[in-house]
């Protein structure tokens, strides 16, 4: 399932537009800004007010026109509206979406062209300190050079990258490693926090969803141990990190709700997968409505 390719590396760094400068958009932008020309746009101007070393744009059009890559870092619920707006400005961009749940085919269809190149990515918060992981799924028009470009971008951002060839797995990965740092931090605040037991439950759940033991351990390393490094390096509390990665109505929130009711980690992961799938359905319907 995982393809490890480290052979292809683009010769020249590209211009990247990051749309949505929230928790994840800002983390990625600030990790790649010395290697890429980064243009950022957020509808909430307060978010980009203190951005340094990046080109802040005040409209979507200005942010994307001169770039080769557009990284979509808005919440899944906001994606359909953004894609509709984007149709006017895209040319031969490589589109990378980090939105939980949203299918590559819906992004292709919303952008209204048969040739659009879309990569779905699922990074996680430890990317901000260079020890995250990111899973990539290539949409149907993606060429080898595109996936190499996306891989290079996330490696530059500090992630170990895994390519996956089954899109259904992206929802499971979202629940395991994308949301993982959030609910790991929640568990870390509980009196009965037991690292060995959480590790065992995580790996057992990942293997139940079809990952090999090796893959499950890889995902765990990018979740538990990487979140510990994030806590240590940033000096933030587990509560701070939990707040930062838990968006309202998102997959992490769904997992935490289960844990707050004293549900098991396995049930929490299942709930996060369910939420990723609901978000996918919601975006699919929004895209269809916007086309009719």
């059009």: which residue's tokens?
61
Alpha helices in 117-162 (DSSP H): 144-156
Six-digit token string for 278: 């609901």
Shortest distance (Å) from residue 122 CB to ligand NAP = 6
Q: Which of 55, 67, 227, 247 is the binder for ligand NAP (CB under 6 A)?
A: 247
Six-digit token string for 243: 């707040």
With binding defined as CB under 6 A, does residue 10 bind ligand NAP?
Answer: no
- Near ligand NAP in 21-80, by CB under 6 A: 22-25, 41-44, 47, 73-76, 78
Cα of 121 vs its chain's centroid, Å: 5
User: DSSP class of residue 13?
Assistant: P
The CA distance from 23 to 33, in Å, is 16
Bridge partners of 37? 15
Q: Which of 18, 82, 185, 287 is the binder for ligand NAP (CB under 6 A)?
A: 82
DSSP codes joined into one string, 156-200:
HTTEEEEEES-THHHHHHIIIIISHHHHHHHHHTSTT--HHHHHH
Q: Which of 55, 68, 124, 223 is the binder for ligand NAP (CB under 6 A)?
A: 124
What SS3 state is found at 128? helix
With binding defined as CB under 6 A, does residue 100 bind ligand NAP?
Answer: yes
Q: Give the interface segment with ligand NAP, choosing from 1-9, 96-104, 137-145, 160-168 (CB under 6 A).
A: 96-104
Q: Which of 20, 139, 222, 238 is the binder for ligand NAP (CB under 6 A)?
A: 20
Residue partners of 83: CB distance under 8 A and separation at least 6: 72, 107, 110, 111, 287
Shortest distance (Å) from residue 245 CB to ligand NAP = 4
Nearer to ligand NAP, 12 or 50 (CB): 50
Nearer to ligand NAP, 10 or 43 (CB): 43
Shortest distance (Å) from residue 275 CB to ligand NAP = 10
Query: Which H or E element spans position 54?
Result: none
Site residues (vs ligand NAP, CB under 6 A): 19-20, 22-25, 41-44, 47, 73-76, 78, 81-82, 98-100, 122-125, 178, 245, 247
């Amino acid at each position: 399932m995982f393809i490890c390719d480290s052979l292809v590396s683009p010769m020249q760094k590209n211009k990247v537009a990051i749309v949505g400068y929230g928790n994840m958009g800002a983390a990625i932008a600030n990790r790649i800004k010395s290697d890429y020309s980064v243009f950022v746009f957020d509808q909430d101007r307060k978010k980009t007010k203190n951005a340094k070393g990046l080109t802040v744009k005040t409209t979507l059009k200005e942010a994307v026109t001169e770039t080769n890559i557009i990284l979509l870092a808005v919440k899944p619920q906001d994606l359909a509206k953004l894609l509709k707006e984007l149709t006017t400005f895209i040319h031969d961009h490589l589109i990378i979406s980090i939105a939980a749940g949203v299918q590559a085919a819906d992004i292709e269809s919303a952008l209204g062209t048969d040739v659009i190149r879309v990569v779905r990515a699922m990074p996680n918060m430890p990317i901000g300190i260079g020890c995250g992981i990111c899973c990539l799924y290539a949409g149907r028009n993606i060429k080898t050079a595109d996936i190499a470009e996306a891989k290079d971008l996330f490696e530059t951002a500090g992630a170990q990258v895994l390519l996956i060839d089954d899109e259904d797995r992206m929802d499971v990965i979202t629940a395991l490693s994308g949301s993982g740092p959030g609910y790991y931090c929640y568990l870390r605040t509980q009196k009965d926090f037991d690292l060995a037991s959480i590790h065992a439950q995580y790996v057992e759940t990942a293997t139940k969803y079809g990952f090999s033991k090796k893959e499950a351990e890889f995902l765990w390393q990018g979740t538990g141990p990487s979140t510990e490094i994030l806590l240590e390096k940033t000096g933030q509390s587990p509560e701070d990190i939990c707040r930062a990665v838990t968006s309202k109505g998102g997959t992490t929130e769904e997992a935490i709700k289960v844990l707050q009711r004293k549900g098991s980690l396995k049930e929490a992961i299942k709930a996060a997968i369910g939420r990723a799938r609901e978000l996918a359905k919601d975006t699919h319907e929004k895209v269809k409505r916007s086309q009719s």
